[in-house]
Amino acid sequence: MSNDTQADKHVVGTLRSVDGMGVVRMEDRYDTGIDDLWSALTEPDRLARWIADVEGDLRVGGEFHASFTSGWEGSGRVDMCEPPRRLRVTMSPGQQDQTVIEAELVPEGDQTSLAVEERGLPLDELAAHGAGWQAHV
């Protein structure tokens, strides 16, 4: 592994719109195998250490409650689970602030690349609030 931490950073962020809603896509590469990364994305005790406390039914179609490290709290639903490659959940299902988060894992040698897409983000918030984003969230 390289000692240059900058060279190890692969985060790429892009933005596009679908049906008037924003889609943010982030990509990164992890220094571990696909099964280990999958477990970090799906096992509650591991999820709690990097993104959210989740409680409830984590099977496909099941609903759960999530408290994110960012402070956001709400309900979620597992839409798709294809170990160890694809996972899709809907946050706030059926509500106005509903978003879909999809994770895709691809093995790359000893490493695993991860692409996370969050869809359904409200683009009009920007038009309405302009530079006031920080005050708004």
Partner 1 sequence: MDAVLQALSDGSRRIVLDTLKDGPATVGDLAALLPIARPGVSRHLRVLRDAGLVDVRREAQFRVYSLRPEPLAQVDEWLGHYRSLWEQRLDALHTEVARGKRARRTRT
Residue 1 contacts partner 1 per CB under 8 A: no
Tell me whether the omega of the peptide bond preceding residue 93 falls within 30 degrees of 0, making it cis.
no
115 binds partner 1 (CB under 8 A): no
User: In the structure encoding, which two tokens stand for residue 136, read together?
Assistant: 């708004």
| C-beta closer to partner 1: residue 15 or 61 | 15
Residue 69 interacts with partner 1 (CB under 8 A)?
yes
Please name the residues in contact with 84: beta carbons below 8 A apart, sequence gap of 6 or more: 34, 35, 37, 38, 105
Residue 99's nearest CA partner among 132, 82, 123 is 123
Q: What long-range pairs does 91-97 form, CB within 8 A, spacing at least 24? A: 91/66, 93/63, 97/122
If binding is defined by CB under 8 A, does position 124 make contact with partner 1? yes
Nearer Cβ to partner 1, position 61 or 132?
A: 132
Question: Is residue 50 within the footprint of partner 1 (CB under 8 A)?
Answer: yes
Number of neighbouring beta carbons within 10 Å of residue 99: 20
70 makes contact with partner 1 (CB under 8 A): yes
The reply to whether 95 sits near partner 1 by the rule CB under 8 A is no
Q: How far is the CB of 24 from partner 1 (least distance, A)?
A: 4
Using CB under 8 A as the binding rule, whether residue 40 contacts partner 1 is answered as yes
Six token digits for residue 92? 């706030």
Residues that bind partner 1 (CB under 8 A): 11, 13-17, 20, 22, 24, 26, 28, 30-32, 36-37, 39-41, 46, 49-51, 69-70, 114, 116, 118, 121, 123-124, 126-127, 130-131, 133, 137
